[in-house]
Amino acid sequence: MRYVMVEHAGRERPGVLDGDSVLLLSAPDLTSVISGDVAVGDERVPYSEGILRPPLRRFRRDILCTGWNYWDHFEESRGKREGQDVDRPEHPTFFTKGPDVVIGPYDDIAWDPAISAKWDYEAELALVIGKAGRNIPVDEALDHVWGYTLANDVSQRDLQRAHGGQWLKGKSIDNTMPLGPWIVTADELGDPQDVRLQCLVNGEVRQDASTKQMAYDVATLISELSFGMTLRPGDLLLTGTPAGIGNAREPQVFLQEGDVVVTRADKIGELRNRVARA
């Protein structure tokens, strides 16, 4: 199944995509649905891209993220981290983003050159936790996933470097992270290590990889993150970006006003966002 949030009658409503229509649910949002609230569907509206909103917007905590989870991405940036290089990590690298970054699958990315001169793209597979757990074994980890979606972890590289190498600030600028277009349930997606992920800027393919190339697979990420830390329904975890980022290219290339960024995956769908002055 594919769960969506749509704009209908002046407010956002959760629903299930069903062919050319959306079956609206009675719950206030998908976070409530994921948490197990009864969500009876009794109304349909025609589907169009224009009614889609971010599938998740209300979070219990910051957005959870994984860094350096494709070794080719880790290596492409070696020597380009402005004195903040590290050795290959022996465990997954985690950080968080503020929740106000989220925008819809076709919304504009709020670009502001006064905030940063180095706006970069990062296509990522994201997962949504559906069952709470702590110290989750690897062989049980995928049972805790409710579904999968796409994110573009748009980053401000100079802010990343300016704050001690900590990534929170350079990843948390308001209205900059496209999410969606929907959440594909775990049973429909199948193996999360068999997804082709791409990012295109103005029609040019910049990133193109399989999730098979992850340094740490999805089950390992969940197990490691839950070590001593409870994961709860509705938590969103980004799983890292592959090689091809603008900061690592020769010469470097960053997002500019008017650029169109497409993030897509063969089993999920497509985000399409214009970079627009905030």
Q: Which helix (H) or strand (E) holds 74?
A: helix 71-76
Burial class (CB in 10 A: 0-12, 13-18, 19+), 57: middle
Taking residues 261-267, what's their average pLDDT? 97
Average pLDDT value over all residues in the chain: 95
Contact 166, 243 (CB under 8 A): no
pTM higher than the cut 0.85: yes
Bridge pairing between strands 11-18 and 177-185 = unpaired
Confidence grade of residue 88 (pLDDT, cut at 50, 70, 90)? confident
Contact 102, 270 (CB under 8 A): no
Evaluate the CA torsion angle 197, 189, 100, 241 in order and state its sign.
negative
Confidence grade of residue 73 (pLDDT, cut at 50, 70, 90)? confident
* Cβ density class 149-165: b for 16+ within 10 Å, e for less: bbbbbbbbbbbbeeeee
Lowest mean pLDDT among 2-16, 18-32, 72-86: 72-86
At 142, list the tokens. 């995928």
Lowest mean pLDDT among 84-93, 116-125, 196-205: 84-93
**Residue 100: CB partners within 8 Å, gap ≥ 6?**
172, 174, 175
